[in-house]
Amino acid sequence: MLYHLLYPLSKYYSAFNVFQYITFRTIYAVVTALVICFVLGPYIIKRLSVLQLGQVIRRNGPPNHKSKEGTPTMGGALILFSVILSILLWTNLTNPYVWVLIFITVSMGVVGFIDDYKKIVKKDSSGLRPRYKFLCQLLIAFLVALFLYVSEFNTIVTIPFLKEVRIDMGWFYVPFAMFVIVGASNAVNLTDGLDGLAVGPIIIAGATYMLLAYLTGHSGIANYLQIMYVPFVGELTIFAGAMVGASLGFLWFNTYPAQVFMGDIGSLAMGGALGTIAIITKHEALLVLIGGIFVVEALSVIFQVASFKLRGKRVFMMAPIHHHFELKGWPEPRIIVRFWIIAIILSLIAVSTLKLR
């Protein structure tokens, strides 16, 4: 809105020219989302506690989680509100990609909200049945993928390190994009099991995609780096920036020992948004590295379940893998910070692939 209201004034005062710059608007989108979280955070946490939207801790979990009983959850609502408000203020709202991102964030958030609501308010421990939850996610991802496909979105996928390999997926890009979006949404959800464990890597991945969106949307730089140029995608730099700002603001309250958890409303929405940014910036394959922590967490569950079914034996003491380290006796902050460090290293490697080709 500020872009639409203030940039036209540059005809009268040249100072307003600054509103055309993506870099300027990204910085203020980060700051706006962060400030909204700081200001509203204490109020929202108090409201969630009063409404008794506290977490019920599973009995079969690692023992140190018992002390977390009653910690308010659904704090993801704060992330979503901050992101959306910041986006409405700072992006060019005529850009269709911005609306795709708003759609995925809000609709995945609604699915997460229904799940949280059933678990916490209705005290139905199974929440939204996994089958229905998955179907809703698939449908949302299908709408996004179909929209991109019919708008003649580039269906070529490039592979990190291999400049020459360009695979045109054609219509198969639709199921591929759905896999990336739904996979990212669920992988972030699985990771969200220790204080700050999911939101830290969300910040790191968000910041990395902030850079990639800027590079991909700038024809000169994209040409120089020999990466795919995607017109209008630069505006997603601002979206990724708002995600980073809101997640940093949320981490303020979610850091160990957490005052609030994000709930599925936050994890499904942020995961879905990350997957969609990866698709639209045409750096889909790099998500495996940039979201490496989420991938490892999801794989640990797949291996654990497969091994138990096929061999009757577990690979890890408990999956997802963060529970394994907890049961080995690692203190919670050590697991969290080490996972963040790995996420930073993986993101740096991902960025280096722009040159190592």
User: For 85, phi and psi rounded to 5 degrees?
Assistant: -65, -45
DSSP 8-state assignment for residue 170: G
Which residue stretch of 17-25, 233-241, 258-266, 278-286 sits at the interface with ligand 57M (rule: CB under 6 A)?
Answer: 258-266
CB of 322 to ligand 57M, least distance (A): 9
Q: Please answer whether residues 328 and 270 qualify as being in contact, where contact means their C-beta atoms are separated by less than 8 angstroms.
A: no
Residue numbers 284-323 binding ligand 57M by CB under 6 A? 301, 304-305, 314, 318-320, 323
Which residue stretch of 58-66, 176-184, 274-282, 341-349 sits at the interface with ligand 57M (rule: CB under 6 A)?
Answer: 58-66
In 3-state terms, the chain is what percent helix, strand and coil (to 5)? 70, 5, 25
Question: How many Cα atoms are found within 13 Å in the side-chain-facing hemisphere of 65?
Answer: 16
CB of 304 to ligand 57M, least distance (A): 4
DSSP labels for 244-282?
HHHHHHHHHHHSSSPS---HHHHHHHHHHHHHHHHHHTT
Residue 40, token pair as written in the block: 């509203």
Query: Does position 118 bind ligand 57M by CB under 6 A?
Result: no
Q: In the bound complex, which residue of the shown chain has the CB atom lying closest to ligand 57M? A: 61
CA distance 119 to 106: 20
Interface with ligand 57M (CB under 6 A), residue total: 29
Query: Does position 65 bind ligand 57M by CB under 6 A?
Result: yes
- Residue choice 202, 258, 277, 346 for contact with ligand 57M (CB under 6 A): 258
- Residue choice 77, 95, 108, 264 for contact with ligand 57M (CB under 6 A): 264
List interacting residues with ligand 57M (CB under 6 A).
55, 57-58, 60-61, 65, 68, 73, 189-190, 192-195, 254, 258, 261-264, 267, 301, 304-305, 314, 318-320, 323
